[in-house]
A and B are shown apart, each in its own frame.
Chain A
Amino acid sequence: MTAVPPFSSTVTAMGMPFVIQLQMPASETVAAAAVERFHDQLKWADEVFSLFIEDSYLSRLNRGEITVDDCPQEMFEILNACEWYRAKTLGGFDARRPDHLDPSGIVKGWAVERGAAALDDIGAAAWMIGASGDVLVSGEGREWRIGISDPRVSGDPAGRNVVDVVMLGGKLRALATSGSAQKGLHIWDPATGEGAEHYVQVSVMADNMVDADAWATAIAAGGERVLSAALDAGMQAMAITTERADGTYGAYASEGWPSILPA
């Protein structure tokens, strides 16, 4: 078989870059068309769910100009999902704000999962999507070596320190990481009503990006009780608890956390 080079592309949506890599696509033209369809899905999600686009359905819903019934049916699905995650995460994930709804904690993962169908359709051997702290891979075809950035690193993490390297693929096809030591987590803890400072950084692996993203946010916000709930729900997680004077970190990792670095 003639080796087909990987196809890489970066598209921007929701105010952030999405990196897409396809292994062995039928052709560059086919790959580019699939990435375009993926991008279209992200842009559509933005038009519906953006809090930054004044006339998005969500913005209008938050201003009371329309009802959920006036929105695409996906609005109902997403808001329902937010309530489901609020219950499952013991309140760690909560889309309710004092004066508006903010489901953005799951919209990105949902949109990526939905858009990824376009990459499945072309029969590439494998694909990977990097979405600003989150990663989703095709699951089958191959495993990917993903570095989790050192919380001290800001900006583009490529070529910089990592705290761990994990294998992503098979049933663990989604990875999400939440938090920053430099800026502090600044995530609202719904239990205390104050800023959450449970962990320096939280990474979660799951079989889909919505779970990974929602649980990573929830654990960062809710701490150990939510981490326990995540493990009960079948998530794999690594939570960095302390930064030590010698530059290392103390962390919890679940039993099945697929690190390839020596413990």
Chain B
Amino acid sequence: MRASRVVVVATACAAILAVGYVLAPEPTPALELVTPASTPADDQEASP
């Protein structure tokens, strides 16, 4: 595939991710938002 690379994505809990930043000099950053996928099921309940 053009201009792409293969990656392996390991899932990680957002809270555990934050622990990974404990070594950073600043206070541990937290995720601003975790966003789900939109699904056709959502669409059926949503409008428009």
User: CB within 8 Å of B: which residues of A?
Assistant: 14-16, 19, 21, 45-46, 49-53, 56, 58, 103-104, 107-108, 128, 130, 132-135, 144-154, 156-165, 175-180, 183, 185-187, 201, 224, 227-228, 231-232, 237-238, 240, 247-255, 261, 263
Contact = CB atoms under 8 A, between A and B. Distances in A.
Interface in B19-36: 29-36
Contacts of B29: 145
Given A51-B48, A249-B8, A251-B7, 8 more contacts: A46-B48, A130-B33, A145-B31, A176-B38, A177-B37, A187-B40, A250-B9, A263-B7
Q: Main SS of the interface on chain B? A: mixed
B27 to A, nearest CB: 14
A252 B4 contact: yes
Give the 9 A-B residue pairs with the shortest CB-CB distance, closest first.
A133-B38, A15-B46, A52-B47, A147-B34, A49-B48, A50-B48, A50-B47, A161-B11, A249-B9
B1 A147 contact: no
Contacts of B33: 19, 128, 130, 135, 144, 146-147
Nearest to A163: B9
Contacts of A45: 48
Contact of B11 (A16, A150, A237): A150
Interface of B: 1-15, 17, 29-43, 45-48
A51 B34 CA distance: 28
A46 B47 contact: yes
B35 A175 contact: yes
Q: Main SS of the interface on chain A? A: mixed
Contact of B41 (A145, A157, A183): A183
A156 B14 CA distance: 13
A58 B43 CA distance: 16
A159 B35 CA distance: 11
A224 B36 contact: no
A161 B12 contact: yes
Contacts of B34: 146-149, 157-160, 162
Contacts of B2: 228, 231-232
A253 B37 contact: no
